[in-house]
């Protein structure tokens, strides 16, 4: 497997059209294709086909449905891995599923563990029960969705991942929480953390903050390396830099060991 010491990541900070998967796919496609040759991975916001809609009966797709087919085709055409969450029907249950596809047509997915009961998510969706780490270009990438960010035990890393990704619809009213928790997950786990969040206002009147960002293993917000179309932000992350910090300050050697039931 190819191993990249440096990984190029683009965070798709974008508005979403409420409950309109076809229009959202069209809006994203040209920008993704424009990243060809300049990025290795593009991360889309949580529920990028619909916004944070809980109308599962109308908008949940299957794994052989139009959006996954679109992701696979676009990934192969652009040469980028593409990741983002959407409503997925699977064996009579419905999940907020974070799907990660590669140019080699591999599909990985993680089902959101912590459903946002305050917003009604737990009443219509099923929670996942498996942590997922994707090996892509030699990088171990852990997948999480929005509300998972508040639960450090579930996000715990003991050198099992190099990068944690949180795809989100995080509201402006909890802006400070978003910024603090992203840093906390990076510091306690000694990893890169990517937080990608939508912008705009949805049909429920909720405003979204954007503030998509990359945090290094020291908990420092990284300066963006490039800004692509539509306010999307791109970063270069270095495995050597992260490992050098871990070697000099090996916190994981003193970590507690536990089992998640």
What positions carry a catalytic annotation? 46, 112, 146
Burial class, 184, CB count within 10 angstroms (exposed 0-12 / middle 13-18 / buried 19+): middle
**Cβ contact 40:137 at 8 Å:** yes
Q: Which residues contact 187 (CB under 8 A, 6 or more apart)?
A: 217, 218, 219
In 91-238, DSSP assigns E strands to 93-101, 107-111, 133-136, 139-145, 163-168, 192-197, 199-201, 207-209, 213-215, 226-227, 233-238
């Amino acid at each position: 497997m190819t191993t990249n010491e440096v990984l190029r990541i683009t965070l798709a900070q974008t508005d979403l059209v409420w409950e309109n998967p076809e229009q959202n796919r069209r809006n994203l496609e040209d920008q993704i294709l424009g990243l060809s040759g300049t990025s290795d991975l593009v991360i889309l916001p949580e529920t990028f086909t619909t916004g944070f809609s809980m109308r599962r009966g109308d908008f949940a797709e299957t794994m052989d449905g139009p959006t996954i087919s679109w992701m696979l085709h676009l990934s192969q055409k652009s040469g980028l891995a593409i990741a983002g969450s959407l409503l997925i029907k699977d064996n009579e249950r419905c999940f907020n599923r974070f799907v990660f596809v590669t140019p080699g047509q591999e599909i990985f997915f993680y089902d959101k563990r912590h459903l946002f009961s305050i917003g009604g998510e737990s009443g219509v969706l099923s929670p996942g029960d498996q942590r997922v780490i994707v090996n892509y270009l030699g990088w171990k990438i852990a997948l999480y969705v929005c509300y998972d960010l508040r639960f450090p035990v579930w996000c715990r890393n003991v050198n099992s991942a190099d990068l944690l990704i949180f795809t989100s619809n995080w509201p402006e009213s909890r802006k400070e929480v978003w910024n603090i928790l992203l840093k906390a997950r990076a510091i306690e786990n000694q990893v890169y953390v990517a937080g990608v969040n939508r912008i705009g206002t949805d049909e429920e009147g909720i405003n979204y903050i954007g503030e998509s960002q990359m945090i290094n293993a020291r908990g420092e917000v990284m300066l963006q390396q490039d800004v692509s179309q539509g306010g999307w932000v791109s970063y270069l992350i270095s495995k050597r830099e992260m490992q050098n910090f871990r070697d000099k300050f090996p916190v994981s050697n003193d970590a507690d060991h536990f089992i998640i039931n």
